[in-house]
Chain A
Amino acid sequence: MTNDQPAIPPEWQEKLAQFEWRRERARELGGARRVQRAHERGQLTIRERLAKATTSFHEIGEFATYDDVDALGTLRSQMPASYVMGLGEFGGRHVAIGGEDFTVRAGAPQTYLDRMKGGLGGFVEDLAHEYRIPLVMFMEGIGGDIAASGEKGHSYLVSSLSWGRSYELLGEVPVLAMVSGASAGGTAGRTVLSHFSVMTKDSVFFSGGPPLVERALGKLPDKYELGGAKVATRSGAIDNLADDEDDAIAQMERFLSYLPQNVWQMPPRTPTDDPVDRPIDRILEKIPTNNRRPYKATDITSFIVDIDSFFEIGKHWGKAVTTGLARIDGIPVGIVASNPMHLGGAMDAHAAEKQIRFVDMCSTFHLPIVYFADVPGFMVGPDAERANVVRWGMRAIQSLIEADVPVVTIQVRKAYGMAVSATSDPDGLSLRIAWPTAEWGDLPVEGGVEAGFAREIEDSPDPEAYRAAINENFKNIADPWRTVEAFGVEAMIDPRETRVMVADFLNASLHRVETDLGPSKRRWTMRP
């Protein structure tokens, strides 16, 4: 083969030799010793991550350089800049993709360059914005560091940095972030400006690391207790947990598979061989008719969505609601389901916050929402009040009303109190489909009678008998069939008919979705 290649003209040899020398140096990252340390921790370098994640990659800013100076400003060596990025093919589609190089100054921002490559704005984010393609970020860095002042000869006021592009992208294209290693300070901040974030189980994520905490609070915490994956995925800072980098990359690909390239396009419908009229008789075994018996939300939703199509998001926090992406008849949809296994499905502040984030994301990318409601109310009790459950709950209602997408609600069992308004879209079509297990009201009859008629019961000659009589009366009134007859709920169906019915409504709703593309048109710019 080499014999067939024409000889390189002599005047080109020197130019190409220099090119190759520079390219080799760029490939060395922060040096063999630092690369080896990453490998010993079981981590990939940024170049290895990019090679693993992409099927094609065209690098930009390959030869941008960082001058490594000592504390007094004397040049020690030159290294590649601390961010690697370009145009990649990821999950079969074009993306802007990049990440901090932790082997170069712990991935600190490239304020030493004329133009940032990425990490906070920079070329990679401009590429996502201008071409309207998703942004995939590998987050490993400690944010800013003091060395930057040494390089510039002055310290800078941090608010000179622009965050505008990073926030703007949230309303334009899917933004995905993976944490492997340490993500702290500014890098942590950039991580949460994403629609989906995932971290490997041995990584850490925090506002400030243990040394900073010790200086501020006088106590040196263990880094995993401070910001290990268990902390970050339970606080909701990070959406999902991954076993390792392979798993994290696979989860990002999976997430992206439900989303369009940008908000001006339809979410990608995929062909399915799972018929909408697939018999789902066994769903009846999974819905307890005894309302004191809980069930796992996913045990029910799995009958309705296409087989193996559910991808859960935020499993470890706000567990009173389960959220995730799925397909029904191949149509990408957002699934929200009350989860009676946690707090009996009562919506607490964390569950509301998680739901808002998810609903906002579905609305942004035009994913219809199917809500499986079984909610005894907003959570009550001292912990709930301290966590500001009422405000978060009212925000959850607002986000669902504002959602620009069709919402289909399945009334599974309980629907009590204000929290019910956070399960449907009363200002849209408000399609609420009840199952015969459904029950609803301002308050459950047992609690409601006590609250509403305490005086009357007390004053009666036989309080016990009077209470029983009131209970009986209100139980009759609470019979959900009475509401069905009054058209106070849009439909009552056999649960076994649900998949085929929801699929038909979703198919019809696409006429609306297709003619409603573009950036979100939120009506109310202020959340309470």
Chain B
Amino acid sequence: MSHQPLSPTASSVWKIVKSAGASVSAGDEIVILESMKMEIPVTAEADGIITKIFVEEGQAVDEDDPIAEIE
């Protein structure tokens, strides 16, 4: 089973916290977005290993854009 955490809002990617290959637990922060001077964490929904990060720091993302893939 894999899942893709999505961007909850239009924003820019402020910080990539975890990189591909890292193992994560549900609730761990993977990427932090910035919108309206707020740091918005994108978190893993379930335990797993990050297979891909779809975004780069500084990149603009829209609501519902996939941020990462977790196996």
Residues from 280 to 325 in A contacting B, C-beta threshold 8 Å? 292-294, 319
Which of A338-346, A471-479, A488-496 lies at the binding interface?
Answer: A338-346
B39 touches A343 (CB 8 A): no
What per-residue 1/0 map shows which CB atoms of B53-67 lie under 8 Å from chain A?
000000000000000
Q: Kindly state the separation between the CA atoms of A340 and B35 in the bound complex, as whole angstroms.
A: 10
Please give, as numbers and ranges, the residues of chain B lying within 8 Å of A292 by CB-CB distance: 37-39
Instruction: Report whether B8 and A341 are in contact in the complex, using a CB–CB cutoff of 8 Å.
Output: yes
Q: Residue B68 at the A interface, CB < 8 A?
A: no
A30 at the interface (CB under 8 A from B): no
For A346, the chain B residues whose CB sits under 8 A away are 36
Name the residue on B nearest A343 (C-beta): B36
Say whether A98 faces chain B, with CB atoms less than 8 Å apart: no
Whose C-beta in chain A lies nearest to the C-beta of B40? Answer: A294
Main secondary structure of the interface of A (DSSP, over half): loop
B residues 1-48 near A (Cβ < 8 Å) are 8-9, 35-40
Interface membership of A143, Cβ < 8 A = no
Q: Is the CB of A343 within 8 A of B37?
A: no
Q: Does A99 contact B (CB under 8 A)?
A: no
B9, A293: Cβ atoms closer than 8 Å? no
Question: Whole-angstrom distance from the CB of B25 to the nearest CB of chain A?
Answer: 17
Partner of B36, one of A293, A319, A376: A376
Task: State how many angstroms separate the Cβ of A128 from the closest Cβ of chain B.
Answer: 38
Interface residue count on the B side (C-beta < 8 Å): 8
Could you mark each residue 327-361 of chain A with 1 if its beta carbon is under 8 Å from any beta carbon of chain B, else 0?
00000000000001111111000000000000000
Report the minimum CB–CB distance from A484 to chain B (whole Å). Answer: 25
**B9, B36, B37, B40 pick with most chain A CB within 10 angstroms:** B36
**Which B residues are CB-close (under 8 A) to A319?**
9
Distance of B47 from chain A, by nearest CB (Å): 21
Taking CB atoms, residues of chain A closer than 8 Å to B8 are 341-342
- In the complex formed, the residue of A with least CB distance to B38 is A344
CB neighbours of B39 from chain A (8 A): 292-294
- Tell me which residues across on chain A come within 8 A of B36, comparing CB atoms: 343-346, 376
The residue of chain A having its C-beta at the shortest distance from the C-beta of B10 within the complex is: A343
Q: Complex Cα distance A78/B51, Å?
A: 62
Which chain B residues border A345 with CB–CB below 8 Å? 36, 38
Measured CA separation A319–B10 after assembly (Å): 12
B41 to chain A, nearest CB (A): 8
* Docked CA distance A371–B38 (Å): 21
Which residues of A have CB within 8 Å of B38? Answer: 292-294, 340, 344-345
Closest residue of A by beta carbon distance from B39: A292
The chain B residue sitting closest to A296, CB to CB, is B8
Give the complex CA separation of A342 and B35 in angstroms: 8
| A342 and B36 alpha carbons, distance in the complex (Å) | 9
A343 contacts which chain B residues (CB < 8 A)?
A: 9, 35-36
CB-based nearest B residue for A381? B36
Distance from B28 Cβ to chain A, minimum over Cβ atoms (Å): 16
Q: Shortest beta-carbon distance, B1 to chain A, in Å? A: 20
> Which residue in chain A gives the minimum CB-CB distance to B64?
A230
Cβ distance B10 to chain A, nearest Cβ, rounded Å: 8
Residues on A lying within 8 angstroms of B by beta carbon are 292-294, 319, 340-346, 376
21 contacts between A and B (CB under 8 A): A292-B37, A292-B38, A292-B39, A293-B38, A293-B39, A294-B38, A294-B39, A294-B40, A340-B38, A341-B8, A341-B9, A342-B8, A342-B9, A343-B9, A343-B35, A343-B36, A344-B36, A344-B37, A345-B36, A376-B36, A376-B37
Closest 8 CB pairs of A and B: A344-B36, A344-B38, A294-B38, A342-B9, A292-B39, A343-B36, A294-B40, A341-B8
* A-B contact sample (13 more), CB < 8 A, given A294-B40, A340-B38: A319-B9, A341-B8, A341-B40, A342-B8, A343-B9, A343-B35, A343-B36, A344-B37, A344-B38, A345-B36, A345-B38, A346-B36, A376-B37
